[in-house]
Chain A
């Protein structure tokens, strides 16, 4: 399967701990997005990478959050000093190099984070 993959699928942690999630986009896609989805809500944009450059960050991305895409391939999202309000589904999406006005995003299955 060559879709977007995310690891882990589920993470349970205690408040105050650090967690890291990984996203592997579709191999030829140079654009990568992170979204957060809380219960009963639609996904909300967190951040965007074009190749290895992080070009946009939402104000939702507090200083406890950091994302990287070191070689323009996989990406990691780290949350430091987790809080119960961080409990959510974290979704990754990728899209190909822009060849037309807009390119479709392909979503991974998500990582569900529960902070106790």
Chain B
């Protein structure tokens, strides 16, 4: 069955430090991959997406992610974390062509930023 795994439930980094959030997926066909961010009490905001082409994708707020097919991974990175980045981050796989387009989400990683 298709699934998304985010191995780290909770991560704490110091402000200004680099960040990497891990995501592994299990999906038979070409994956459509997403990272969303959710602040407390808020809906989901799309950070970036990968459909095809260049495996390094840039998103909003200075985030980037790299698709590695051989490792079934789509890790999210940021070179320098800001206190406002503290939130919950979700990786998701989208069912594409011929399907409904529904998303399968990982369980999320909570990011805490130390001053």
Seen from chain A, the residues whose Cβ lies within 8 Å of a Cβ on chain B are: 4, 31, 33, 35, 40-45, 48, 50, 55-56, 91, 93, 95, 98, 100-110
Contact = CB atoms under 8 A, between A and B. Distances in A.
B34 to A, nearest CB: 8
B11 interface: no
Given A42-B92, A102-B51, A107 B101 contact: no
Nearest to B46: A104
Contact of A108 (B43, B101, B103): B43
A45 B102 contact: yes
Contacts of B41: 109
B105 A44 contact: yes
A11 to B, nearest CB: 14
Interface of B: 4, 32, 36, 41-46, 49, 51-52, 90, 92, 94, 96-97, 100-108
7 contacts: A35-B103, A45-B102, A45-B103, A93-B44, A105-B94, A105-B101, A109-B41
Given A41-B108, A110-B43, A102 B97 contact: yes
A102 B27 CA distance: 15
B32 A105 contact: no
Contact of B44 (A45, A50, A55, A91): A91
B104 A45 contact: yes
Contact of B100 (A41, A55, A100): A55
A48 B43 contact: no
A98 B101 contact: yes
Nearest to B42: A109
B25 to A, nearest CB: 13
A95 B101 contact: yes
Contact of A101 (B92, B97, B102, B103): B97
Contacts of B108: 40-42
B44 A33 contact: no
Given A43-B90, A107-B44, A108-B43, A102 B103 contact: no
B62 to A, nearest CB: 20
